[in-house]
Amino acid sequence: MGCGKVDERPLPSLLDQPLPPRCLTCDGVLRPAVVLFEEMLPESALAALQKQVQLGFDAVLVVGTTASFGYILEPVWRVRQAGGSVVEVNLQPTEISPLADVLLQGRAADVLSQLVRHISSD
């Protein structure tokens, strides 16, 4: 698991070194600050999400998930009930797909890059 220290080096400098990138303190493998497959959302992030869910959303963008966790499904259901918009980006349809106003099928990196280019060109 490593020492848990946050590495502040810019990503490009890490990628110029032998992979996988290593911690300068403990020599453990660095990990991204994301929830990886089959990991639980950290408690602090879950609490922050629940607070935002209570406030409500106008739209939800769901990207690259099997949508098998309640904390992913709940914001989608709430937005639909409130008349908001749901956009899903995924390789394959999920439990959320029937609720989505827009389903963008493909790799998240590809679809989001195209989406950003499209939005930026307006």
Q: What angle do CA 54, 116, 106 make, to 5 degrees?
A: 85
- Token pair for residue 63? 């990207």
Q: Where exactly are the structural domains of the chain?
A: 1-33, 41-121
The rounded percent of the chain whose pLDDT value lies above 70 is 98
59 three-state secondary structure: strand
Specify the DSSP element, H or E, that contains 108: helix 108-121
Q: Which residue has the higher pLDDT, 2 or 98?
A: 98
Asked whether residue 8 carries a pLDDT value surpassing 90, the answer given is no
> What integer pLDDT is reported at residue 113 of this predicted model?
92
Look up the CATH number of domain 41-121.
3.40.50.1220
Q: What pTM value is reported for the model? A: 0.73
As a whole number of Å, the CA-based R_g of the chain is 18
Q: What is the pLDDT of residues 15-68, one digit of tens each?
A: 888 888 999 999 999 887 777 777 888 899 899 999 999 999 999 999 988 888
Indicate the DSSP class of residue 93.
-
